[in-house]
Amino acid sequence: MSEATLDVVGIGNAIIDLLAHAEDQFLVDHELNKGGMTLIDEATAERLYAAMGPATRASGGSAGNTIAGLGSLGAACGYIGKLRDDELGAAYRHDLLASGVRFTTPMAGDGPSTARCIIFVTSDAERTMNTYLGACVNLTADDIDEALVASAKITYMEGYLYDEPHAKDAFRRAADIAHAAGRQVSLSLSDSFCVHRHRADFLDLIANRVDILFANDSELLALFETDDLDAALEKVAAMVDLAAVTLGASGSVVVRGGERVTSPAAHVERVVDTTGAGDLYAAGFLYGLTRNLPLAECARIAGLAAAEVISHFGARPEVPLREFAKLG
């Protein structure tokens, strides 16, 4: 097994976020699923965009946000995701390269346009996401760059990918490449509705191909169809080497075998927009893991990265996160 040249390679839906403030009544009027991620078709995306307020546009996507956070912390990263060769695709690619991320996935020359997520942020800082997957549906196992995956200590995949037809194969191929190279495989459960849609697949994947699992409490409960967090933590501890479970304002709990490490949430002056909270938690945690830091230190950096991203609009850090990595 050769030495890893990258810390983490992320595989995910490459999505441009369009963010705007909205009132709760707007969500009601448009029958939006508050706090969730709903898949929408292009016509609905255009209708919602026309109805939405003045918008901020930035690169998003769960794994993309995590990789951007890792880059900001100072990690060496790669990314695999499908863009169309349009203006939004060019913007997404710019942001990857500008973060120092290796990005080799061929951009589609035809077919659906680059994916958009239309995000409404309400005054309670909750985000309601509506995703048109666009070009993402064309990610296939062929897009898994074997050399890139094999070069990274950890391959990190978002559960949202399971909403695409060919992503299961891409997932498995990436995991197999990573394991063959002696690397680790990590999965984020993404969203409790996503867990409901793909529970059997996720359980199989977690049991057989995942070493490090990220979830929030409701996703973990959805996975095991229980409302007993303690029982769910025991179950997941038996299935993966390591699981990091976020608990919102209560911080997080990390399980590794019989070991449990709980951490408080980092202080946030004012929570503005929770978009990207879980993604940045994963970024901070993976940063710590790739530096072989103790679990409590991984969780501490994770909490700081999440705190930065929820203190402002948008799913990616606005300031370099490197200082968080130094404080430990």
Considering only CA atoms, which of 226, 197, 193, 223 is closest in space to residue 210?
223
Q: Closer to its own copies at the Cβ: 213 or 305? A: 305
DSSP assignment of 48-86 equals HHHHS-S-EEEE--HHHHHHHHHHHHT--EEEE---BSS
Q: Does 53 bind its own copies (CB under 8 A)?
A: yes
Phi-psi region of 314 (alpha: psi -120 to 50; beta: other; left: phi over 0): left
* Separation between Cα atoms, residue 181 and residue 1, nearest integer Å: 6
Query: Residue from 15, 20, 170, 232 that binds its own copies (CB under 8 A)?
Result: 20
Q: Does 314 bind its own copies (CB under 8 A)?
A: yes
Q: Does 186 bind its own copies (CB under 8 A)?
A: no
Cβ atoms within 10 A of the Cβ of 144, count?
A: 24
**Residues 56-75 as x/- pattern, contact with its own copies by CB under 8 A:** xxxx--------x-------
Contact 98, 4 (CB under 8 A): no
Q: Does 327 bind its own copies (CB under 8 A)?
A: no
Q: Could you tell me the smallest distance in angstroms from the CB atom of residue 314 to its own copies?
A: 6
Q: Does 316 bind its own copies (CB under 8 A)?
A: yes
Query: Residue from 62, 66, 99, 155 that binds its own copies (CB under 8 A)?
Result: 99
Q: Could you tell me the smallest distance in angstroms from the CB atom of residue 160 to its own copies?
A: 20
**Residues 272-291 as x/- pattern, contact with its own copies by CB under 8 A:** x-------------------
Binding segment (CB under 8 A) for its own copies, from list 80-88, 175-183, 230-238, 284-292: 80-88
CB within 8 Å of 123: residues ≥ 6 apart: 21, 23, 24
Binding segment (CB under 8 A) for its own copies, from list 35-43, 46-54, 149-157, 237-245: 46-54
Contact 165, 138 (CB under 8 A): no
- DSSP H helices, 118-266, are 146-150, 167-180, 192-208, 217-224, 229-239
Binding segment (CB under 8 A) for its own copies, from list 32-40, 74-82, 93-101, 209-217: 93-101
Q: In sequence order, what are the beta bridge partners of 16? A: 59, 116
Q: Could you tell me the smallest distance in angstroms from the CB atom of residue 182 to its own copies?
A: 31
Q: Closer to its own copies at the Cβ: 101 or 161? A: 101
Q: Which residue has the tokens 């690619």?
A: 93
Q: Could you tell me the smallest distance in angstroms from the CB atom of residue 297 to its own copies?
A: 25
Query: Residue from 43, 50, 200, 249 that binds its own copies (CB under 8 A)?
Result: 50
Q: Does 268 bind its own copies (CB under 8 A)?
A: no
Q: Could you tell me the smallest distance in angstroms from the CB atom of residue 148 to its own copies?
A: 20
Binding segment (CB under 8 A) for its own copies, from list 4-12, 87-95, 144-152, 188-196: 87-95
Q: Which residue has the tokens 């995942």?
A: 210
Q: Does 26 bind its own copies (CB under 8 A)?
A: no
* Separation between Cα atoms, residue 230 and residue 221, nearest integer Å: 10
Q: Does 320 bind its own copies (CB under 8 A)?
A: yes
DSSP assignment of 6-38 equals EEEEEE---EEEEEEE--HHHHHHTT--TTSEE
Burial of residue 3 (CB within 10 Å: 0-12, 13-18, 19+) is exposed
> Would you give the end-to-end CA distance of the chain in angstroms?
31
Please give the single-letter amino acid code of residue 102.
R
Query: Residue from 2, 109, 269, 327 that binds its own copies (CB under 8 A)?
Result: 269
**Binding positions for its own copies, rule: CB under 8 A:** 20-21, 49-50, 52-59, 68, 86-88, 91, 94-95, 98-99, 123, 269-270, 272, 312-314, 316, 318-320
